[in-house]
Structure 1
């Protein structure tokens, strides 16, 4: 019930929806899967009007916007049973917590499925939404006030130095047990990496760094940008704890001594 309590409060503050649910499913899948890729949801809840999906993304991959769009659409299509009425019974809301941040460095981003006229006015036909939440980029001035404490709590939980006394709301305190990184086993972390290409991750990091260099007017050059990309990737892999220092050196192209130095920081 504590998980349910936290989820309903979380959804209320980010979506403005009051859920009336009795249970929450974890690691939800569809059998048989919809489409060619099986969707799996960290948290999955329903009431009479809404279907809520919450996914915690601990590793930053280049395709996470597309991947969670796929998951969201799977939850939408699962409701359409025949061609007599394409309107789903439930409204679908997907909340993706990107704990490692994103290349756009935005605190909150949303995909709103409602059609709009050429003046940008919503028609009020389709209420499904996807919200990408990046606690790392919380903006004290621009992030909606009701989201602040949630995002601070999530970010605080990731550095493993949680000051729980800083958070007064009981539902905020309960979110720590939901987000804690040590709830993901080394096997699960390794599986997450097995599904994706290290080269894609390195390419994205390298592209971000090159863009930053160009934007800031620096002339460090490609070689320094590549070294910085390798270092950033090594830090991400070390934080996950699923690979040995030797394996991280092999993946990133850094020397073992360099990896050990990063691990000691």
Structure 2
């Protein structure tokens, strides 16, 4: 019971933007350093890993393409949880999290599509096919762009937050479609080979570089997300100060006119 109270108190404390900024200032350097170290180790392991017996050297693009694809879905999941925080729990930083994550997720999704096309050309003989996996990931990219546009189109911040949260939750139905599309439909894309109930089907010599690279990119996402949230909080504070300054100037003008 006391542990639950302590966790709740800590989460409530983080709802204070000032305390969150202080925590982000401490975490960002450490997360960034760990991301660089993990990515460096992952790239070294990737370039020293053996070639695939079928794909040859082209398999090396897997070490960036797969983490990009994973993070495209992971980032949207973070946004969906943030959307719940906005609509259900009214957490003051939930909207900040959603808005900060959207451009990062769009970038990872675009990189997944680009690297997937580069990988697909020698393997499939074409840059693109409208199969279930590729099409659903492309829809995810469009969802990211739509959420980014929506958060910037509405001037009222609270209305924009609610609208973006609703759109994010509606679009979350696409995440399981992406995940299970290769199982539900006959596609060119290979089925899941890492997260399987019966265990990974990739040889450990290829699996470990992939996992280390994925860890590095995940830490990079967390670093960028905290940095973007920090920038968004400061942007809103500056905007609030500008509004207060404008109102004060307007009040002084009205007092001067009445005098």
TM-score over 0.5 (shorter chain): no
Q: Which has the larger radius of gyration?
A: 2
Higher share of residues assigned strand: 1
Give me the TM-score of the superposition, normalised by structure 2.
0.28
Higher share of residues assigned helix: 2
Which structure is richer in relative contact order (CA contacts within 8 A, separation 6 or more)? 2
